[in-house]
Amino acid sequence: MQITTPAAVRANNLSITLNLIRERGSITRTELMELTELSAPTISSLVNFLISAGFVEEKGSAASSGGRRPNLLHFNYDARHAVGVDMGATHVNVVCMNLAGQVKSHQSRRMDIVNLPRQTLDNIIEMVHEVITESQVPMDEILGLGLTVPAPLNTITSGTFLTHYMPSWKGISPIQELGKVFSMPLYLENDANAGALAEKWWGSARKCDTIVFVKLGTGVGSGLIIGNEIYRGFSGTAGEIGHTTIETMGRRCRCGNQGCMESYVGLPGILMDARLGLAEDASWVGSLDNLTVQQVIEAARRGNQFCQQLIQTAGRYLGIGLANLVNIMNPGMLVLGGELAEAGDFLVEPMVTSMLNRSIPFEKHMEKIVMSELGQDAVAIGAATLAIIEAFSPSNLYRTLHRMDDPILKGGEAIQKEG
């Protein structure tokens, strides 16, 4: 993109400077000049503006390379916060976190998201208020709210998603509904994409620019990051690994096709098999109707052979699907997340064996298959990260640097116009 106006140049320079300080944590003015190739007066003006806005503090000294020791600039990671909402098929997780990705408060509830959209939105609104209150953060210090859905988006900017698997949501825009309550920037993202973003920024894949994040939940989705950017494909449905065929005449999937991986690895398929297999076991009588995957995993850990075999079978099927993805994409890292990932070696060992039999040349890089560092909060953290990314883009930066009702905002605009 060509930057031509003085205001755009200054906004771009301010964004670059602020993000360098944020990424480094601490840095000197001289280092900023070297990295940005901006003049000393320009860096001084930008830094002074960031200090006045409360995002940067000047304290302490760096080592001297000869002469006076330079002062250190430190980023204030608590200057603002962001809220992330992970809306799955059967749960809502909400986090409020600071600019270092540290979760200050967390709320989680189980509910029927697919069939109860209005109740779900009411719960989300209540939970968002709760995490902000628990974090003791003023509402005007929240940069924005990111919301994820377990479905592909219609477009990045529409605020709507494909409701094929969630027909009760047809005609309902969650962003539009939340916008009636919250006067802050709102963003919508696919859940697996948000998980990939979280792992790239704060988790297992911080040093990798091409990754796959696989979310193992009600569905099986993958978020793809290529060259540090989310890859969406032509119409936004890239990463729907759960609907790749692994059995040509297999089970009927909720998408209408046969033999999709999701039918064997998604939680509904696993729980269906578990109920059938455990029906004759007296110790499970009365508990199968409300069976959870956590109970299946726990039983496997306690030595229940059927539950162990059930998870291992899911692992083998997962390995087939991932081998196909690895052969096509050749990722630098593959991160496993979601509820089923908690099964650990029961799932991973047969998955790796299945992958090794089918993928090339990933067997040389098996250490790059890792578990999510962020656990069940990964998707919500990714949603909040989206709000942070947008807030620190050049086009949104001046609004970010001041509270919405701060009179200094006008001063910021004046500085912007001066170039």
Residues in contact with 114: Cβ distance below 8 Å, sequence separation at least 6, in sequence order? 89, 90, 165, 166, 168
Evaluated on CA atoms 235, 238, 242, 247, the torsion sign reads: positive
pLDDT of residue 148: 97
Collapse the DSSP code of 373 into the 3-class scheme (helix H, G, I; strand E, B; otherwise coil) and give the result: coil
Instruction: State the span(s) of the chain assigned CATH 1.10.10.10.
Output: 6-76
Residue 149 bridge partners (DSSP): 190
Q: How far apart are CA 156 and CA 89, in angstroms?
A: 21
Q: 6-76: which CATH topology?
A: Arc Repressor Mutant, subunit A (1.10.10)
Distance CA(149)–CA(192), nearest Å, equals 9
Q: Give how far the C-alpha of residue 145 lies from the chain's centroid of Cα atoms, to the nearest Å.
A: 12
Predicted pLDDT of residue 417: 28
- Distance between CA atoms of residues 110 and 88, nearest Å: 9
The DSSP code sequence of 257-295 is -BSBTHHHHSHHHHHHHHHHHHTT-GGGTTTSTT--HHH
Q: Edge-to-edge, what's the strand order for the sheet holding 229-230?
A: 229-230, 220-226, 210-216, 333-337, 369-371
pLDDT digit string (tens) for the chain, length 419 residues: 455 688 788 888 998 999 999 999 999 999 999 999 999 999 999 999 999 989 999 987 766 665 577 789 999 999 999 999 999 999 999 999 999 999 999 999 999 999 999 999 999 999 999 999 999 999 999 999 999 999 999 888 888 899 998 999 999 999 999 999 999 999 999 999 999 999 999 999 998 999 999 999 999 999 999 999 999 998 888 999 999 999 999 999 998 999 999 999 999 999 999 999 999 999 998 899 999 999 999 999 999 999 999 999 999 999 999 999 988 888 989 999 999 999 999 999 999 999 988 887 666 666 788 999 999 999 999 999 999 999 998 888 888 887 544 433 343 333 332 33
Length of the chain: 419
Q: What is the pLDDT of residue 64?
A: 60
Res 187: pLDDT: 96
Residue 144: C-alpha distances to residues 139, 161, 183 (Å): 10, 20, 9
As given in the structure block, the two tokens for residue 319 are 């390995």
pLDDT at 356: 87
CATH of 206-372, one of 3.50.50.60, 3.30.420.40, 3.40.50.10190, 3.40.50.2000: 3.30.420.40
- The CATH number for 81-196+378-391, chosen from 3.40.50.300, 3.30.420.40, 1.10.645.10, 3.20.20.70, is 3.30.420.40
As annotated, the residues of the chain forming the CATH 3.30.420.40 domain(s) are 81-196+378-391, 206-372
Strand partners, 109: 92
Q: How many CB atoms lie within 10 A of CB 6?
A: 12
